[in-house]
Amino acid sequence: MQLSPVVVALDYEDQRAALNLVSQLDPALCRLKVGKEMFSHFGPDFVRELQQRHFDVFLDLKFHDIPNTVAKAVKAAADLGVWMVNVHASGGSRMMIAAREALQSYDAEKPLLIAVTVLTSMEQADLLELGITLTPEQQVLKLAALTHQSGLDGVVCSAHEARALKQQFGQAFQLVTPGIRPAFAGADDQKRVMTPAQAVAAGVDYMVIGRPITKAADPLAALQAIYQELNAV
């Protein structure tokens, strides 16, 4: 069975609750994302626990620092054996190139290196506050171009930008998108949502899905429903 593009976001303050969810999921149907909250609470051991359960882990720590520090941080993530790691594209091309070069010696074991463009929670007013006068879509394209030039594997973006990004940067440029909502789920606080099928049709490679699975009465059934919807595309 081909691994599905679903990455389940583990946003929990309680490790037992997270592992209870994980024990209901199937590593053939999804990967797992560990972000700042769980990594700060439970550290690399938690990531290792997930890997021992045969899950690929996306370490979502969104590194943004001087090039030397980010290079060392992505190397530490690679040593941990994660499948995907990310940085902020707004850290600039020198930072992103340093991160890419730090992973060069990992060959087949190299994690995918992805850059965050504009967070899906940010609107025009948030960019203006930072002195950025471009629209969020224009800023995404600008940061994606910088990411592509820096030789990274792809970007985190909204599914609404996927079509334009694939057109501009080609099929190999990987798109990772949050804000995905299956027809059976509510939008929660996500603003511009797409269904999994729409996202795949738009060119999304990996979709980060949290609450529609983690808060479902039957998480595996929710995951299977998404997988079936994707197989029908």
Q: Which of 25, 208, 216, 226 binds ligand OMP (CB under 6 A)?
A: 208
Least distance in angstroms from the C-beta of 229 to ligand OMP? 16
Q: How many CB atoms are located within 10 Å of the residue 47 CB?
A: 21
If one asks whether residue 89 binds ligand OMP (CB under 6 A), the answer comes out as no
110-139: which residues touch ligand OMP (CB under 6 A)?
Answer: 116, 119-120
Q: 7 or 71: whose CB is closer to ligand OMP? A: 7
Q: 162 or 209: whose CB is closer to ligand OMP? A: 209
Q: What is the CA radius of gyration of the chain?
A: 17
Q: Which of 4, 139, 150, 190 binds ligand OMP (CB under 6 A)?
A: 190
Q: Are 141 and 164 in contact (CB under 8 A)?
A: yes
Residue 131 CA to residue 176 CA, distance in Å, equals 26
If one asks whether residue 60 binds ligand OMP (CB under 6 A), the answer comes out as yes
Residue 30 CA to residue 172 CA, distance in Å, equals 21
Q: Strand pairing partners for 27?
A: none
**210 carries a ligand binding annotation:** yes
Site map for ligand OMP, 145-174, x if CB under 6 A? -----------x------------------
Pairing label, strands 174-177, 84-88: unpaired
Q: Are 33 and 8 in contact (CB under 8 A)?
A: yes
Strand, helix or coil for residue 192: coil
Residue 145 CA to residue 90 CA, distance in Å, equals 12
Binding site for ligand OMP (CB under 6 A): 9, 11, 35, 60, 116, 119-120, 156, 178, 188, 190, 208-211
| Known binding-site positions for substrate | 11, 33, 60-69, 120, 181, 190, 210-211
